[in-house]
Amino acid sequence: MSLPSPLNQRTIVEQHRAMEEQQQASFTSFLKWAAQLGISDSPHPPVSSSSSSCLGHTLTVANFPEAGGRGLAAVRELRKGELILTAPKSALMTSQSVIDKDHVLARAIKSYHSLSPTQVLAVCLLVEVNKGRRSSWYPYLTKLPRSYDILASFGPFETKALQVDDAIWLTEKVISKAVSDWREVAALLEQLKLKPQLVNLKAWLWASATISSRTLHVPWDSAGCLCPVGDLFNYAAPGEESAATEVSVSDYSLLQVRASRDGNGTEDPLLGDEHIDACSGRLIDGGYEEDKAAYCLYAKKNYKIFEQVLLSYGTYTNLDLLEHYGFLLNGNPNEKVFIPLEHDIYACHSWPADSLYIQHDGKPSFALLSALRLWATPQNQRKSVGYIALSGSQLSPENDTIVMKWLLSNCRAILKSLPSTVEDDLSLLEAIGKAQLLQSIEMPNNLPCAAAIEFCKFLESMDLCCGGIEVVLLSALPSKVKKSIDRWELAVQWRLKYKKTLVSCISFCSRTIEILSPENGLSR
């Protein structure tokens, strides 16, 4: 196949422009609709709901290709702690608000007591989508993404591309949970006589991903709420903003805390806590405020005009971000790399397993270092030095050398056991990026062996034979292939970050061993 001719390229550009204009017009009417619901970025919203937009005083919708795509930008300088968006309770889409207005759904759902709050909200969402233009949420529903890249949407090829057992295990677990959740609601969806395309697994995955990646926490429903416009804020890791401000900001999880969704919606005890700004004595990101009967969002830091205004949905590793939101961060300060630990390492301390990891900068976590120091101590001496290790202090240079050597050789062994190297992954990402940019898949002839094999396997998994093809235009391919390329890229990016952290750990251990060596005079 050949690349588009200049004439065809012009037609594509024109089509694209026409589509953008159409989208802009529909967004303008969406923002007007939101204003009518009482959503506003002004601390003093107009009394009548005749405003032509809910934005413009503080925020505007903008595109940030490098940080989340569609998001919200400041239209003026914002001060930390300033109210930036208010959405009254009536503008929040919750299970209750949908069920209250739909008697058929209310009657049907009564017989399904065992469904979790998240399942109920997903059913409500599908019911509203099924209504089409008749739904009072229609302007909002049409602005939701058509598909998501969260782990539950990964296919077998993309799952395998994660390469690391823990990540593959988690992906398989979330996929099978999504399938079993769907099976549990299948009878209800049938009973509600939704259109066939809304009762299948694909639709269920879409609804669950919408909830996973967009709901805000509300105190009365552990499934959270969907907040038009309020769900357009992209994510910044908590703590990132403190570098730019004087007061350190506490970590308040604004979007729904995921742990609370697991099981039967048991609340996370932290959710009851209000995380208060040390200066203003007020919620930092925001939350539902009973006295105002509204969801109120506040600037987490000072913003310059046109800067993207971000929220911290919570503290997440890159795997968590992929699981719940379908993206990952470069330089995520909360990244954790877990490595396999032998049983006797666990047996000699009481640190929780999830505290034993390698940090994003390659250093072992406080607990991992402490646990390894104890494990590297002869068993009969552990009791007497236990408190020193627990306090984070070095037991001896020799002990630390053993620990660093253990870590170093384990990181090396893990890297060796993985099917591709850092260099392979970098080449693969370049090839994937080129395919996305040129909108065509071409098997590059200079790929390293492991990357070339994977590229070929991708083509085969998409039923695009690997051997004979030269160029396949993405625009001519089903969206399934384009989505798969995006997810494959995420998987490669994730495993590359994992490997880079192990490489940093190896460097850290080598440097430390060097410093501790007798030649440096630090050994006793």
Q: Which is nearer to ligand SAM, 145 or 444 (CB)?
A: 145
Minimum separation from the CB atom of position 120 to ligand SAM (A)? 21
Helix and strand totals (H; E) in the chain: 16, 13
Question: How many of the other CB atoms lie within 10 Å of CB of 37?
Answer: 20
Minimum separation from the CB atom of position 45 to ligand SAM (A)? 22
- Give dist(CA 136, CA 326) in Å, integer: 28
Minimum separation from the CB atom of position 329 to ligand SAM (A)? 6
- Give dist(CA 109, CA 115) in Å, integer: 9
Q: Which is nearer to ligand SAM, 144 or 459 (CB)?
A: 144
Minimum separation from the CB atom of position 75 to ligand SAM (A)? 18
- Give dist(CA 441, CA 474) in Å, integer: 7
Minimum separation from the CB atom of position 497 to ligand SAM (A)? 14
Is residue 184 within 8 Å of 119, Cβ to Cβ? Answer: yes
Is residue 85 within 8 Å of 58, Cβ to Cβ? Answer: yes
Minimum separation from the CB atom of position 434 to ligand SAM (A)? 21
Minimum separation from the CB atom of position 418 to ligand SAM (A)? 25
Q: Which is nearer to ligand SAM, 303 or 455 (CB)?
A: 303
Q: Which is nearer to ligand SAM, 349 or 497 (CB)?
A: 497
Minimum separation from the CB atom of position 287 to ligand SAM (A)? 16
Q: Which is nearer to ligand SAM, 67 or 472 (CB)?
A: 67
Q: Which is nearer to ligand SAM, 235 or 338 (CB)?
A: 235
- Give dist(CA 24, CA 234) in Å, integer: 20
Query: What kind and span of H or E run contains 184?
Result: helix 165-191
What torsion, rounded to 10 degrees, do the Cα atoms 415, 418, 419, 421 define? -20
Q: Which is nearer to ligand SAM, 208 or 365 (CB)?
A: 208
Minimum separation from the CB atom of position 288 to ligand SAM (A)? 16
User: Which residues are CB-contacts of 233 (< 8 A; sequence separation ≥ 6)?
Assistant: 71, 72, 297, 309, 310, 311
In 3D, which of 124, 259, 96 has the Cα closest to residue 185?
A: 124
Minimum separation from the CB atom of position 211 to ligand SAM (A)? 11
Q: Which is nearer to ligand SAM, 159 or 210 (CB)?
A: 210
User: Which residues are CB-contacts of 133 (< 8 A; sequence separation ≥ 6)?
Assistant: none
Q: Which residues bind ligand SAM (CB under 6 A)?
A: 67-71, 145, 213-214, 231-235, 325-327
Q: Which is nearer to ligand SAM, 249 or 443 (CB)?
A: 249
- Give dist(CA 283, CA 4) in Å, integer: 53
Orientation of helix 318-325 relative to helix 201-214, angle to 10°: 130
Is residue 506 within 8 Å of 411, Cβ to Cβ? Answer: yes
Question: How many of the other CB atoms lie within 10 Å of CB of 270?
Answer: 14
In 3D, which of 262, 271, 178, 255 has the Cα closest to residue 214?
A: 255
Q: Which is nearer to ligand SAM, 254 or 452 (CB)?
A: 254
Q: Which is nearer to ligand SAM, 334 or 377 (CB)?
A: 334
Buried b (16+ CB within 10 A) or exposed e, 61-95: bbeeeeebeebbbbbeebebbbbbbbbebebbbbb
Minimum separation from the CB atom of position 403 to ligand SAM (A)? 35
